[in-house]
Structure 1
Amino acid sequence: MAEFALSAAGLETVALRVKNRNLMIEFYRDIIGFNLKREENELAIFGTAKDKNDLLWLEESPYAQDHTGEIKKLKRLCLVIPSEKEMADLAQRLLQANYPIEDALTANEASGILVEDPEGNQLEIYFGSKNTHQNPVALNLVALAQKATGEFPRLSDGVHFDKIHLNTSRLNEQQDFLENVIGLKVQDETSGILALNGGNFHVGLSTGQGGTLDLATDDVLGLDFLQFRVPQADIFALADHLEKLSVEFFIDHKKQIITVYDPTGIEWWFVSEEKKRH
């Protein structure tokens, strides 16, 4: 069988199952700076200031189990900020809210801030190239915030998720799914952490046991699904590829959406570029 690869796999939407939607809205809208585009029943849908995108969905699930302090399927989300000025405005919002900072590092004109949202999902926010992070030192958040101009009260259209890092108890199966089922490429492997690359999107994998790792996503808080926007030709190619592998998947009657579960239980959505956005 010929090696399969999606022609492009940029991450469009991350969906999180949450307990307290209002508290999470306050964090992602008022501190991080997402634009709350609309609310639909239990969903809160976020994007950037102007662009027609849905970067983040929060789905309120009050009966899902918290598993506070336990290992989760989602290890970390990475959010790219396109300019230092915008990073400074975001740093100022964090400091003004007196929000806890897990870590803040800088190296060679690249800076990163690590926080946890109110329900324990890690969010890494960074500006500059991660490839330049050699021997980083502590980032002076006060000095960065002093550069704030107020130009970016909401995240700009250049902001996007570029990496998601997952915990899994089925490392080999998860790697096989990413590499051979949906066609991402192994780019780097160091210290037991796998970094897979597919176009503008990267996945990191770490092995773990317990917590929510082997529980159904519907039953627990945290990462629910990932959605990608791909060419229509990739929808047909992926459907054919999954059928040949005898992998279960769903495809809608218009053949514009494919969903498939990975071995960790996370649902991956692939949506045709021809399907209209909301």
Structure 2
Amino acid sequence: MQSDPDSHVLPSKTRIGRTALRVSDLGDMAEFYREVVGLNVLSHSETTAILGVEQTPLLVLEEDENALARDQSGAGLYHNAFRVPSRGALGDALTRIRDRWHLGGASDHGVSEALYLTDPEGNGVEIYRDFPRQEWPIADDGRVQIGTYSIDLEPVEAAATGKPGVPVGTDVGHVHLEVTSLEMFGDFYVDTLGFDVQTTVPNASFVSAGGYHHHIGANTWHHRTGPVSGRGLSWFEVVLPETEALETIRDRVAGSQFAVTETTDGISVIGPDEIEVRFRVET
């Protein structure tokens, strides 16, 4: 699943856009992502809530009262990762979590510092901030190296600004998936779509565009054996900087085993483990 350096890769400004969760209690979930994560509710209907920062949507909650709990053998979301622009914003997130929820863990990854928690329906959530890019550890082959190290949360807590919610500049930095096969993950996300592998660790792979540490992570740590189903990940979005990149992906997927479906603003592909990935051009 190593990418060929001579093959077409995604443009450097490719990024993750919105992610969507299938939920059973829209009210509780919207409250959690507003009060604990710090997103704003941009719109709310009987069955859908869209949350984000200012007018930028980041998370879509789709209510399905009949959706079963996620099958523990099934693939799906490991965590959605919301990236904040400063240590102060991360300190504010830590304060909200300690005041209103419970912190599941925290780590220094060499490229970032991150807080981890779980939402009311069992979906993983990461809130993190990147270290300056020039400080990221780079391997001899030029790839970014991600590690997991202990973190002192006192400086993070001390940096808190006291401002409510997440600031402008917050986005979805990456999505981390649980998959049934890293080989299939690589065949699709690297060989077909054009992401580059940055870091591999036992039973996990991290891929990106433009030399970012990772836009998509995937692991087989919990030995999932079936496709995504029930509550949890519904779809996530890859945003491309130019129409040519979208056309390239459309052509490359059309030549694979996966089908392309046209959407109002781009295309949708049901990839490995029946995880839906949507693509659109930056507007």
Map of 1:178 onto structure 2: 189
Contact 2:268 2:277 in 1 (8 A): yes
The 10-residue stretch of structure 1 (23-32 or 3-12) with the greater mean CA deviation from structure 2: 3-12
The one of 18, 32, 55 aligned to 2:23: 18
**TM-score, structure 2 normalization:** 0.81
1:247 equivalent to 2:251? Answer: no
Root-mean-square deviation (CA), in Å?
Answer: 2.8
1:244 Cα deviation after fit = 2.9
Q: Structure 1 residues 107, 238: CA separation in 2 closer, same or farther (over 3 Å shift)?
A: closer
1:148 equivalent to 2:160? Answer: yes
Contact 1:224 1:266 in 2 (8 A): yes
The 10-residue stretch of structure 1 (235-244 or 119-128) with the greater mean CA deviation from structure 2: 235-244
Contact 1:92 1:146 in 2 (8 A): no
Contact 1:85 1:147 in 2 (8 A): yes
The one of 213, 221, 225 aligned to 2:231: 221
Q: Secondary structure at the match of 1:155?
A: coil
Map of 2:50 onto structure 1: 45
Residue type at the aligned position of 1:6: L
Q: Matches of 2:186 and 2:59 in 1, distance apart?
A: 25
Q: Matches of 2:194 and 2:108 in 1, distance apart?
A: 33
Contact 1:106 1:136 in 2 (8 A): yes
1:164 Cα deviation after fit = 1.6
Contact 1:36 1:45 in 2 (8 A): yes
Residue type at the aligned position of 1:214: G
Residue type at the aligned position of 1:176: D
Q: Structure 1 residues 238, 79: CA separation in 2 closer, same or farther (over 3 Å shift)?
A: same
Map of 1:163 onto structure 2: 174
1:216 Cα deviation after fit = 4.9
Q: Structure 1 residues 110, 196: CA separation in 2 closer, same or farther (over 3 Å shift)?
A: closer
Aligned length: 263
1:21 Cα deviation after fit = 1.1
Aligned residue runs from structure 1 range 186-265, under 5 A? 186-199=197-210, 200=212, 202-207=215-220, 214-217=226-229, 220-230=230-240, 231-245=242-256, 247-252=258-263, 256-265=265-274
Q: Per-residue CA shift, 1:195-247, capped at 9, x if unaligned? A: 11123552222126676x52454xx0011101122222222222222223353
Q: Structure 1 residues 40, 80: CA separation in 2 closer, same or farther (over 3 Å shift)?
A: same
Percentage of identical aligned residues: 24
Q: Structure 1 residues 128, 239: CA separation in 2 closer, same or farther (over 3 Å shift)?
A: closer
Q: Structure 1 residues 147, 180: CA separation in 2 closer, same or farther (over 3 Å shift)?
A: closer
**TM-score, structure 1 normalization:** 0.83
Q: Secondary structure at the match of 2:274?
A: coil
Q: Matches of 1:242 and 1:110 in 2, distance apart?
A: 32
Q: Secondary structure at the match of 2:217?
A: strand
Aligned residue runs from structure 1 range 67-106, under 5 A? 67=70, 72-97=75-100, 99-106=101-108
Q: Structure 1 residues 53, 25: CA separation in 2 closer, same or farther (over 3 Å shift)?
A: same
Contact 2:109 2:147 in 1 (8 A): yes
Q: Per-residue CA shift, 1:14-51, capped at 9, x if unaligned? A: 10111111111111001111010001341100111x2x
Q: Secondary structure at the match of 2:177?
A: strand
Map of 1:64 onto structure 2: 67
Q: Secondary structure at the match of 1:177?
A: helix
Q: Matches of 1:110 and 1:184 in 2, distance apart?
A: 20
Map of 1:36 onto structure 2: 41
Q: Structure 1 residues 244, 118: CA separation in 2 closer, same or farther (over 3 Å shift)?
A: same
Contact 2:75 2:273 in 1 (8 A): no
Q: Matches of 1:70 and 1:242 in 2, distance apart?
A: 27
Contact 2:111 2:136 in 1 (8 A): no
1:184 Cα deviation after fit = 0.8
Q: Matches of 1:146 and 1:24 in 2, distance apart?
A: 29
1:139 equivalent to 2:152? Answer: yes
Contact 2:236 2:276 in 1 (8 A): yes
Q: Structure 1 residues 5, 110: CA separation in 2 closer, same or farther (over 3 Å shift)?
A: closer
Q: Matches of 2:239 and 2:15 in 1, distance apart?
A: 7
Map of 2:57 onto structure 1: 54
Q: Matches of 1:172 and 1:25 in 2, distance apart?
A: 35
